[in-house]
Structure 1
Amino acid sequence: MKKYFLLLSLIIIAISSCTKSDSTAVSAAQQAAIDNSLIQSYIKANNITATEDASGVYYSIITAGTGANPTVSSTVTVSYTGKLLNGTVFDSSPALTAPLSGLILGWQYGLPYINTGGTILLLIPSALGYGTTSPSASIPANSVLVFTITLTSFTTSSTGK
């Protein structure tokens, strides 16, 4: 009888551990709520005045710049620093030129708020950054990203010509 009880106990423990790993999975909505809470805490702790975009990106315009605004179809030249919420710098560049449509969604939503010469602080929820993937050892999955970006210049290709 003890053998059966022991076997039954082992089966229950095995099934329970499978259920636990499934229950620890975080849904996209739960992750969005976690990210929003982390961003709110960061804003408060660093005394930042930021606006939330409809996409969920928070932004603070440091310098507006002048002229027109880039669009997703623009090719932008920027200098930037990317950090995690704990202050760890994971990337920076004095001059990156790239199509805005090829960059992370957080940049696509945030950069159009400034003009040439403008600088913006973007607080990007994980879903609009790298999501559940870890693009490098320095950026864990589900990371909220903090970018300070200066828009040096941009060009927008004309269509239909």
Structure 2
Amino acid sequence: MNKFKYYFILLLAGISLVSCNKNDDDDVVTVPLRDYTVQYKADNDSIIKFLKTNYIESVTADFDIKISKIPAGGTQTSVWDQQTYPLQSRDVYSNDVTYKVYYLSLRQGLGSSPTNTDKIVASYTGNLLNGTVFDSSYGLPGTFNLFPYANEGAVIEGWSEIFPKFKTGTSTTDPASGVISYQDYGAGVMFLPSGLAYYESGSGSIPAYTPIMFSFKLFDLQRMDNEYSISSSTGGRVFLGDGVPDYLEDLNGDGYLYDFRDKTKYPNPPAGLVDDTDGDGIADFVDFDDDGDGFTTLFEITKPTGEAGVRRYYPWDPTPDNPLTPNTDETELKGIPRRPTGALADPTKPESSTNVKAYLLEDYTANPRLRIHLDKTYPIKQN
């Protein structure tokens, strides 16, 4: 086909597409966004129907799963009813809807669980409910960012909600080839309503408003520190962190952190999901001053000159030396301290910003303890 014919066909196609989106008055028709609650009901009905009319045909030793439709008159046990890999669910609040998201745990994994703001190393295959494969990593691990406001590598919301229910594995590196192998990793299948996937936009061969499923394996994770500012020149996010990784700012310990300043997405957040020490409406994991005392978290956890360890900031808990780095001693015997409990510099005067108490070893190691970046009473402000 010569170039002229090619461009002519494209022109005709463009005219056709525009024509399909205009009314008789030659005005562009804007299709209203579907109501999230109504669409969720339709998606949930489709997912439940799929789970009750399909069965797990096989699961390999590497946890590759094949799910097939139960034939007419078939006696196979449905995904919904089988007990080998019991169907589980998680409630997810988003767009003022509480979604029930179903997932299968083929193996939970033996390592650590990511939060919904960490980076992960995973492989995946994505299917429509009719069995069509729309995407796959072909078993190869890739790096993905679960934080929805990440500048790059961010994933759909459903991934951020289900991956924290699994754990990573362990890895070994072949010294000759450098190839990394993973063992004991988490593996599962998630069934996502469109409101936690691509919703009205669709993606590639995924139509708009379509529930989808992913089989996946979780190999590894990278802990993130996601405090950010907005660039005055570009308007983009500049990630700076506050010295405390997100997973350690998860106050309720549920593995999930949310930025509820987004009132469009979260108009009525459940109180149990809030991780906000000072109650200023900014969750600790994106708050540069977690306790609202006027001192940044980074300032409060910065180590005095001469403190042991290679890091500039206190770890959350004492850190041992890393045997994989024989030329560097990472040993730190102290975690982030609480308000000091030792003797005053001048016992004849009251405690103040110029007459402070000495830190005792137990101020750095006692467990539990209220760390200074969460203690609104310390450091003491200048009189």
Give TM-score scaled by structure 1 length.
Answer: 0.80
Question: What SS is found at the alignment partner of 1:135?
Answer: coil
Partner Cα separation in structure 2 for residue 123 and residue 42 of structure 1: 10
1:83 aligns with 2:127: yes
The correspondence for 2:38, drawn from 26, 30, 36, is 30
1:123 aligns with 2:167: no
Partner Cα separation in structure 2 for residue 115 and residue 76 of structure 1: 10
Give the corresponding residue for 1:43: 51
Give the number of the structure whose residues are more often strand, by fraction: 1
Cα deviation digits, residues 64-92 of structure 1 (max 9, x gap) = 11121011221101010000000000001
Name the % identity: 33
Runs of 4 or more consecutive aligned structure 1 residues displaced over 3 Å after TM superposition: none
The amino acid across from 1:62 in the alignment is L
Map 1:7-22; keep pairs closer than 5 Å: none
Give the corresponding residue for 2:221: 154
Which structure's CA Rg is the greater one? 2
Cα deviation digits, residues 110-139 of structure 1 (max 9, x gap) = 001110101011000000000111221x11
Give the corresponding residue for 2:144: 98
1:157/1:26 CA distance change after superposition, 3 Å? closer
Give the number of the structure whose residues are more often helix, by fraction: 1
The amino acid across from 2:132 in the alignment is T
1:139 aligns with 2:185: no
The correspondence for 1:60, drawn from 101, 104, 117, is 104
1:113 aligns with 2:121: no
Question: Residue 98 of structure 1: CA displacement?
Answer: 1.6
Q: How many residues align?
A: 140
1:73 aligns with 2:110: no
Question: Residue 152 of structure 1: CA displacement?
Answer: 1.1
Question: What SS is found at the alignment partner of 2:91?
Answer: coil
Question: Residue 53 of structure 1: CA displacement?
Answer: 1.1
CA contact (8 A) 2:33 2:200 kept: no
Give TM-score scaled by structure 2 length.
Answer: 0.35
1:75/1:40 CA distance change after superposition, 3 Å? same
CA contact (8 A) 1:111 1:120 kept: no
1:119/1:27 CA distance change after superposition, 3 Å? same
Question: What SS is found at the alignment partner of 1:73?
Answer: coil
Question: What SS is found at the alignment partner of 1:53?
Answer: strand
Question: Residue 26 of structure 1: CA displacement?
Answer: 4.4
CA contact (8 A) 1:51 1:60 kept: yes
Question: What SS is found at the alignment partner of 1:54?
Answer: strand
Question: What SS is found at the alignment partner of 1:148?
Answer: strand
Partner Cα separation in structure 2 for residue 70 and residue 133 of structure 1: 28
1:153/1:37 CA distance change after superposition, 3 Å? same
